[in-house]
């Protein structure tokens, strides 16, 4: 017998967009039901952002221990090389994921959100069926929030399976691959490629374009390239991956010559696509914008009271964008007058060193004259105390020349991701160079580099 649920709000997908939407709707007193076929938390928490940062942190720790063998490093030496047990590292990572997953469940329960485990299949815009462990459930809603997220793109000639893996499998390996080939030099490929190199894998990266991190400018990506060179990561640019046979990745190099790369695992990271298949989107009658669901600035689809958020609606595919949209939609349904119009959405690349980009970047088309000022982390005391003053890091500020209002900030350096909020707040609040220069920044911190870059934009940096 089918159980029938009638609800004010139905959220499909329990990732950072969906669960935030559900929690906020519950807090606002809306009867809310959330459907998730996997663990609560979605790609970001379960198999993306959080687990990858755990592996990256473990890799950094292992690399520091390795540096301390023999003659030692920074006055610290250990008698033998550290030993990696990757399965135990993965277990530690899984513990973090499980803790956060349980936390999401508790927050949903506190907000009185009904959670249904299973895959929602829509028969029309407001009705879906879910096969759960307890039987079939039919859900009818007044409002539907689509938050189905995205999935890795596979190459036709390198389908996922066996030794050809996506980022999901790369975060749950039992053994360290001796030789790892990474196809794609975007942020996912480089984050994981650098981490596995630090753990001891021999890493080779294959990229079809003529540079790494094509979404960032050369000045930002050069310190990462130097780090890769120091780690011994091999790089094939303007190369095409063609097949994987007998433990070798076959590529066509930049000169059109065939090359075979020995690899125990091939990690394919050529992008992500919205998850639009397998849940009845075609039955809902919503308009599309290419591969994405088309929405307006309130996240409304073309179907009345059907909303879509996160990766499903387009770039940037970032968890924090999805969360902001989820909160927004819940409040609109509850009666608030809001729209999604942030000045900036911070982007962070957790490579070594890290990269942050917020707002306008050099080369962006603009109808106003701008000025650019940069301050090197080699002159920042905190960076030097971390032993990271020599990795080419910097903070760069772009401001409108006429009134010095900050339009964009980019930075590269160890732990620089922690400054992304200060950069975003400055731009959202309409801060000028004078405003940042007038704020006393704690010493010694990396944040002083933002202060000094602003001073340099005004023509009088103190420490450079």
Q: Which residues are catalytic?
A: 443
Please choose, from the candidates 67, 12, 59, 4, the residue with its C-alpha nearest in 3D space to the C-alpha of residue 34.
Answer: 12
Residue 135 φ/ψ region, left for φ over 0, alpha for ψ in the -120 to 50 degree band, beta for the rest: left
Residue 89 φ/ψ region, left for φ over 0, alpha for ψ in the -120 to 50 degree band, beta for the rest: alpha
Tokens of 228: 């890769």
- Could you tell me where the DSSP H helices lie in 129-217? 167-170, 187-199
Q: What are phi and psi of 94, to 5 degrees?
A: -65, -35
Encode burial over 35-53: b for 16+ CB neighbours within 10 A, e otherwise: bbbebbbbbbbbbbbbbbb
| Whole-Å CA distances, 407 to 217, 359, 428, 446, 459 | 16, 6, 9, 20, 18
Distance from C-alpha of 87 to C-alpha of 28, rounded to nearest angstrom: 43
User: β-pairing, 306-308 with 248-252?
Assistant: unpaired
Residue 40 φ/ψ region, left for φ over 0, alpha for ψ in the -120 to 50 degree band, beta for the rest: beta
Tokens of 53: 């940062």
Distance from C-alpha of 229 to C-alpha of 290, rounded to nearest angstrom: 38
């Amino acid at each position: 017998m089918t159980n029938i649920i009638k609800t004010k709000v139905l959220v499909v997908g329990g990732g950072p967009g969906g669960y935030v939407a559900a929690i906020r709707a519950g807090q606002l007193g809306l009867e809310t039901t959330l459907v998730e076929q996997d663990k609560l938390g979605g790609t970001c928490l379960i198999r993306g952002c959080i687990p990858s940062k755990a592996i990256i942190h473990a890799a950094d720790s292992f690399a520091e221990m390795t540096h301390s063998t023999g003659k030692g490093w920074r006055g610290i030496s250990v008698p033998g090389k550290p030993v990696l047990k990757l399965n135990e590292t993965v277990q530690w990572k899984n513990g973090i994921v499980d803790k956060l997953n349980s936390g999401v469940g508790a927050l949903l329960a506190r907000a009185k959100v009904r959670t249904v485990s299973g895959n929602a299949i829509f028969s029309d815009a407001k009705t879906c069926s879910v096969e759960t462990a307890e039987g079939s459930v039919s859900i009818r809603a007044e409002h539907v929030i689509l938050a189905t997220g995205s999935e890795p793109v596979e190459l036709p000639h390198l389908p996922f399976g066996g030794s050809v893996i996506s980022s999901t499998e790369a975060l749950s390996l039992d053994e360290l691959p001796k030789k790892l080939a990474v196809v794609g030099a975007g942020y996912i490929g480089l984050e994981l490629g650098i981490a596995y190199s630090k753990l001891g894998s021999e890493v080779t990266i294959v990229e079809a374009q003529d540079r790494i991190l094509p979404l960032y400018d050369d000045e930002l990506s050069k310190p990462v390239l130097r780090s890769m060179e120091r780690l011994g990561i091999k790089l094939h640019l303007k190369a095409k991956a063609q097949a994987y046979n007998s433990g070798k990745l076959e590529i066509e190099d930049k000169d059109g010559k065939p090359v075979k790369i020995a690899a125990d695992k091939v990690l394919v990271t050529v992008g992500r696509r919205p998850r639009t298949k397998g849940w009845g989107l075609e039955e809902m009658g919503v308009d599309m914008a290419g591969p994405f669901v088309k929405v307006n600035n309130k996240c409304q689809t073309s179907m009345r009271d059907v909303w879509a958020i996160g990766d499903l609606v387009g770039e940037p595919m970032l968890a924090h964008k999805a969360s902001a949209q989820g909160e927004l939609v819940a409040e609109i349904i509850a009666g608030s007058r809001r729209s999604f119009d942030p000045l900036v959405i911070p982007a962070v690349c957790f490579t070594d060193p890290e990269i942050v980009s917020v707002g306008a970047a050099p080369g962006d088309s603009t109808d106003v004259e701008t000025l650019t000022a940069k301050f090197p982390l080699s002159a920042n005391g905190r960076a030097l105390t971390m032993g990271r003053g020599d990795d080419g890091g910097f903070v760069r500020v772009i401001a409108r020349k006429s009134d010095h209002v900050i339009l964009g900030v980019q930075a590269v350096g160890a732990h620089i991701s922690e400054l992304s909020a200060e950069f975003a707040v400055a731009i959202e609040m309409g801060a000028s160079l004078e405003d940042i220069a007038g704020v006393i920044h704690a010493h010694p911190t990396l944040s002083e580099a933002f202060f000094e870059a602003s001073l340099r934009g005004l023509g009088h940096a103190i420490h450079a």
